[in-house]
């Protein structure tokens, strides 16, 4: 399953991020499921440097969040800034996810 980046730009002056809320209430879990996720993008931008895309938090039977925290510095790529909603949408970022758990 996949959820597009339809989120708010959050954070403070010292901590900027994109918070992605994913509603899984239609799945019918009766206890907290095991959620795995990854960040995908189209276009010429590699999301491999985006921190947080594979780390679901606040997981419940009905929802989870993913916080896209910024870009990691790497050899030959010195920029380490923060993602924006406009950039994420322009490059078709999406959170691919799966959830496994009890439904009865």
Dihedral sign for Cα atoms in the order 52, 58, 59, 65: negative
Name the residue with higher pLDDT: 55 or 92: 55
Q: What's the mean pLDDT in 20-44?
A: 88
Q: Quick one: which of 69, 71, 68 has its CA closest to 94?
A: 68
For residue 86, what pLDDT is reported?
Answer: 77
Give the C-alpha separation, 39 to 78, whole Å.
Answer: 21
Using 50, 70 and 90 to split pLDDT, how confident is the model at 3?
low
Give the C-alpha separation, 35 to 59, whole Å.
Answer: 8
Instruction: Give 4-51 as a DSSP string.
Output: E---EEEEETTEEEEEEEEE-GGG--SSPPEEEEEEE--TT--GGGEE
pLDDT tens per residue, range 38-90: 888 876 666 777 887 888 999 999 999 888 877 776 666 555 677 777 777 77
For residue 45, what pLDDT is reported?
Answer: 64
> CA Rg, the chain, in Å?
15
């Amino acid at each position: 399953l996949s959820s597009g980046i339809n989120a708010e730009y959050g954070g403070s002056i010292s901590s900027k991020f994109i918070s992605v809320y994913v509603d899984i209430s239609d799945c019918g879990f009766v206890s907290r499921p095991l959620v795995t996720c990854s960040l995908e993008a189209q276009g010429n931008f590699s999301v491999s440097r985006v921190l947080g895309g594979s780390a679901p938090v606040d997981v419940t039977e009905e929802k989870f969040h993913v916080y896209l925290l910024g870009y990691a510095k790497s050899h030959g790529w010195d920029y380490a800034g923060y993602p924006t909603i406009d950039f994420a949408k322009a490059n078709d970022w999406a959170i691919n996810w799966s959830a496994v758990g009890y439904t009865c």
